[in-house]
DNA sequence: TCCGATGGTTGCATTATTAAACCAAGTTGC
DNA sequence: GCAACTTGGTTTAATAATGCAACCATCGGA
């Protein structure tokens, strides 16, 4: 590779997210953390990834403020990896990935789980994107434009449906 | 590696999505396609990635039904890569990634673009997840359970806030 | 028909991922 | 209090993915 290209200085927020959590394991680690995993061994067993990789990934997630280390809640001398608010903020990304599989996967019968609302136990609706005045938006209804206060050269890009 | 682990047979829909589009470039290629890129050269120039990588990625996206090849719309003998409905369905994932950066990035001032609704030109709201009876849900209000009709052994996992 | 643009392919160097073996500190059984 | 096991890693070596640069065939325009 000569060095895998990093997007951390890209001005696109999507690229910046991918730089932080866009690798093969980070999102699954966060998924497990949302399911309640806290200990190194729990992550390793549930995900089945090599321990050296897990070490590197957990360290990177801590460095980025997605996980934080805390003394183990069971009183032992070990440590736990806990989600920060930034880590819990990944939830909508995981929901979007899940719903994309549910809608478009070629073999949906292999998906054995559904996301439900805890109170009623029924499947959730699809993620919805609204305008400030309450209209439900699709990709075709949106565009990307320069943020006020930044260099004005950026052209308005229309998202084509 | 001995072989990068594939999640295509995992029963978790998140893992299956990551297997399809969870690499460094695929989501950015789809982002560019949503912005209107269609030609090999357009993708290569806007993303700045090596041409051999782009070749492999475009082929994989076509194989998966995310892009499709079509004769160039300008009448030339070249071909264009167009998004399929499955490809356009990636839009909410990109929005979720963008909003996560907007909310949690350490240097938000480096983000130079915003997503607006095309009609009014104003920023969109955050993605919202609702229950079937219309309650706005957070991660803590949801759980993952076995899909009816699949093996009943799967335990209900609560998503911890 | 010549020459640049387009859309790749090939070769090689470098980095990332992986499994498996190893290891030190913490914990438990007795 | 000491041996054995668990936890949470590190090290090593092999293989796969990524990247750059050079090359090349076809298309398009003058």
Instruction: Concatenate the DSSP letters of all residues of B61-99 into one string.
Output: HHHTTSEEEEE-TTSSS-EEEEE-HHHHTTHHHHHHHHH
Tokens of B95: 């929005």
pLDDT reported for residue A149? 75
Higher per-residue pLDDT: A63 or B160: A63
Rounded CA-CA distance A74/B161 in Å is: 19
Angle between helices A40-47 and A26-35 (to 10 degrees): 110
pLDDT reported for residue A154? 45
Residue B2's pLDDT band, with cuts at 50, 70 and 90, is low
* Long-range Cβ contact pairs of B147-152 (< 8 A, separation 24 or more): B147/A111, B147/A112, B147/A113, B147/A114, B150/A112, B151/A112
Task: Look at A54-63, B97-106, B140-149 and tell me which has the smallest mean pLDDT.
Answer: B140-149
- According to DSSP, the β-strands at A113-117 and B142-146 are antiparallel
Residue A75's pLDDT band, with cuts at 50, 70 and 90, is confident
- Contacting residues of A for B15, CB less than 8 Å apart: 28
pLDDT reported for residue B39? 96
Question: Phi/psi class of residue A8: alpha, beta or left (left: φ > 0; alpha: ψ in -120 to 50)?
Answer: alpha
pLDDT reported for residue B153? 46
Nucleic strand D near CB of residue A78 (< 7 Å): yes
Rounded CA-CA distance B107/A60 in Å is: 17
Q: What is the pLDDT of residues B133-156, one digit of tens each?
A: 999 999 999 999 998 877 554 445
Nearest Cβ partner of A34 from B91, B125, B159?
Answer: B159
Nearest Cβ partner of B133 from A102, A120, A143?
Answer: A120
Does residue A153 carry a pLDDT above 80? no
Chain-wide mean pLDDT for chain A?
90
User: How large a percentage of chain A has pLDDT more than 70?
Assistant: 89
Q: What is the pLDDT of residues B32-75, one digit of tens each?
A: 999 999 999 999 999 999 999 999 999 999 999 999 999 998 88
Protein CA B70 to sugar C1' C23 (Å): 58
Report which residue is nearest nucleotide C19 when distances run from CA to C1'.
A50
Helix, strand, coil content of chain A in percent (nearest 5):
40, 15, 45
User: Alpha-carbon dihedral of residues B98, A136, A115, A14, nearest 10 degrees?
Assistant: -10
Does residue A152 carry a pLDDT above 60? no
Does residue B157 carry a pLDDT above 60? no
What is the pLDDT averaged over residues A108-132? 96
Q: What count of residues does chain B have?
A: 161
Covered bases, chain C (protein CB within 7 Å): 6-11, 13-21, 25-28
CB of B89 closer than 8 Å to CB of A104: yes
pLDDT reported for residue B6? 83
Does residue A56 carry a pLDDT above 90? yes
Residue A159's pLDDT band, with cuts at 50, 70 and 90, is low
What is the pLDDT averaged over residues A14-28? 93
Prediction pTM value: 0.92
Rounded CA-CA distance A23/B81 in Å is: 25
Tokens of B124: 């969109």
What is the pLDDT averaged over residues A133-156? 81
Task: Look at A90-94, A156-160, B54-58, B88-92 and tell me which has the smallest mean pLDDT.
Answer: A156-160
Mutate to test the interface with A, among B2, B11, B17, B28 (most CBs of A within 10 A): B17
Rounded CA-CA distance A19/A6 in Å is: 6
Tokens of A30: 């966060």
pLDDT reported for residue A151? 57
- In order of A60, A115, B17, B59, the CA distances from B13 in angstroms are 24, 10, 6, 23
């Amino acid at each position: 590779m000569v060095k895998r290209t990093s997007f951390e200085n890209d001005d696109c927020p999507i690229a910046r997210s991918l730089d932080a959590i866009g690798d093969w394991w980070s999102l699954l680690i966060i998924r497990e953390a949302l399911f309640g995993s806290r200990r190194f061994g729990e992550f390793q067993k549930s995900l089945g990834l090599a321990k050296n990789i897990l070490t590197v990934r957990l360290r990177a997630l801590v460095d980025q403020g997605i996980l934080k280390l805390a003394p183990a809640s069971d009183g032992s001398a070990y440590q736990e990896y806990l989600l920060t608010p930034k880590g819990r903020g990944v939830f909508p990304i995981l929901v979007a990935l899940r719903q994309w599989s549910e809608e478009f996967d070629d073999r949906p019968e292999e998906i054995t789980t559904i996301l439900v609302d805890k109170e009623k136990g029924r499947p959730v609706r699809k993620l919805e994107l609204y305008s400030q005045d309450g209209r439900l938006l699709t990709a075709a209804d949106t565009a990307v434009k320069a943020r006020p206060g930044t260099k004005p050269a950026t052209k308005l890009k229309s998202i084509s449906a």
